[in-house]
Structure 1
Amino acid sequence: MSYLNNFYHLLYGPEDGRKWVFVHGLMGYGQNWRRIIQGIEATERCLAYDQRGHGRSFQPPEGYSPEDYADDLKKIVDELGWGKFVLVGHSMGGRNVLNFASRFPEYVSHLVIEDIGPEANPTAHEYYEYLLNLVPSPFASRDEAKRYFFEDFVKTAKTRENIQVMANYFYSNMVEQANGTVDWRFSKQGILDSVRLGRTDDRWDEVKSLKVPTLLVRGGNSKELSQENYDKMLASNPMIKGVVIPGAGHWVHSDQPQAFSEAVKLFVGGF
């Protein structure tokens, strides 16, 4: 039985190219990496997949800790026969790849953690609970969903990130269901569990124990990874190098794709 069949995934680039795995953030999906992959797929072999509970992958009722996500990744790369690869993770995906690299360092040639820290925050899920509960889904039609996000949501929601960006992001996560209604693409409970389980304990031990070359990327305007925690992460382990990218918020690879790509290429040693 193929474990990989649980996941919507796409492979890009030549089979004999250096291998890369891209891991998206909370409420994201593999296609979030398309612009970055486009810049390297001529020579590199890239995997992007929807993590459990996200996108078009399976949505189990439980199992949303970083350890669960990292175990999925191990089973996926084992099935593909990938022994060594560059591993890139954004936000929640950054926490998941941190866990993976700390437990299975032999798989990772280079690790890229994008805009996430290892600190605990037991109330972090409340923000997402508030936002998701604000949305009166399911909607009767796609038009109704669109009207809600771009008229009502942008007027009423209190978001950390740019409100228009968040409205677009949420709307992109609305899909037509079998009964004709339009609802979340992801597992709502899975999202809330991911935040709760990912933030219950701090993960400084994982940062300190990293044995692989690591690049920590921070958006200059990020509200997610503070400059203080960024500095602390760099100071905690000589394997970690850092770059702060101006003009970017939490979604560095989306806000400044060229600068992000160049920083990563420089880190892994060019092509």
Structure 2
Amino acid sequence: MTANVVFLPGLLCDGAVWTEQQAALPDYSCHIVSYGELDSIEAMARHVLDTCPERFVLVGHSMGGRIALDVVRQAPQRVSHLVLLDSGYQARAEGEAGEQEKAGRMALLELARSRGMRAVGERWVQGMVHPARLQQPDFIESILVMLERKTPTIFAAQIRALLNRPDATPVLQQLSCPTLLICGRDDSWSPLARHQDMAALVANAELAVIENSGHMSTMEQPQAVNQALLQWLQKHS
């Protein structure tokens, strides 16, 4: 029987994030989830469970990693292996730090409504990729085109989901399936130190660091990500 892999994109992302990973897994049945206008991590996770095969390898990037953790919380028996890339696990901070995050996200939403999704992408991408990638127009264009496929309405829904995200610390502590964390060495949005903290919470978790990569590791360094993913899957098959 062919094993299933479910890919969960992050904020404003879609299957373009997973193009190279799908190509590297010809022996798996791959499924990429779209969240539509769902506006909570919990609802997005329920959507995954409602639309995906009964049992699967679950791979989540960024916001998709948070959704993946809630999938495990809701139905741990459905997930055979878990991979979290450039992601996080904590709820929004209380106090000033949390308000600063909210203000930053709402400013981007206002930009989306006033100037369109491409304008959001042009600002957003600056801190999302390795600085060297900013000098590669074709690569940057591929990200901007992906973001343009979303709408301000979808952006608003996903912002609400992230601002109200649950603390997944208990989920990490209770994980029993094989778990791999992958992080770009230069990810300034979801830094390596956070992934080291996550790995410390999970029994027998493995951590792979992708060199010369920022937050968009699957697109920035697809071969390195594929190698880490394939070796780990073979090890735990």
TM-score (norm. length: structure 1): 0.72
1:220-235 matches, cutoff 5 A: 220-235=185-200
Instruction: Tell me if 1:40 matches 2:25.
Output: yes
Determine which of 32, 37, 41 is the counterpart of 1:66. Answer: 41
Judge conservation of contact 1:109–1:213 (CA < 8 Å) in 2.
yes
Q: Which runs of 5+ in 2 are unaligned?
A: 93-97
Q: Hey, what's the Cα distance between the residues in 1 that align with 2:210 and 2:112?
A: 32
Determine which of 214, 217, 220 is the counterpart of 1:249. Answer: 214
Aligned position for 1:266: 231
Higher alpha-carbon deviation: 102-111 or 250-259? 102-111
Seen in structure 2, the aligned counterparts of structure 1 residues 244 and 37 have a Cα distance that, compared at 3 Å, is same
Q: Deviations over 1:73-112 (max 9, x none)?
A: 11112xxxx3321110000000000111233121111100
Q: Hey, what's the Cα distance between the residues in 1 that align with 2:9 and 2:120?
A: 22
Aligned position for 1:117: 88
Q: Secondary structure at the match of 1:269?
A: helix
Aligned position for 1:130: 107
Seen in structure 2, the aligned counterparts of structure 1 residues 158 and 259 have a Cα distance that, compared at 3 Å, is closer
Instruction: Tell me if 1:173 matches 2:147.
Output: yes
Q: Secondary structure at the match of 1:234?
A: helix
Q: Hey, what's the Cα distance between the residues in 2 that align with 1:167 and 1:127?
A: 23
Instruction: Tell me if 1:75 matches 2:75.
Output: no
Q: Hey, what's the Cα distance between the residues in 1 that align with 2:90 and 2:77?
A: 25
| Percent sequence identity over aligned pairs | 24
RMSD: 2.8
Residue identity matched to 1:264: L
Following superposition, the deviation at residue 160 of structure 1 comes to 2.4
Larger Rg: 1
Q: What count of residue pairs does the alignment treat as equivalent? A: 223
Aligned position for 1:22: 7
Residue identity matched to 1:217: I
Aligned position for 1:86: 57
Q: Which runs of 5+ in 1 are unaligned?
A: 1-15, 54-62, 140-144, 176-182
In proportion to residue count, which structure has more helix? 2
Q: Deviations over 1:189-213 (max 9, x none)?
A: 2122122122xx4321111111211
Judge conservation of contact 2:41–2:162 (CA < 8 Å) in 1.
no
Q: Deviations over 1:141-199 (max 9, x none)?
A: xxxx87x689xx56xx7942259577753443335xxxxxxx8276232122122122x
Instruction: Tell me if 1:197 matches 2:194.
Output: no
Seen in structure 2, the aligned counterparts of structure 1 residues 168 and 235 have a Cα distance that, compared at 3 Å, is same
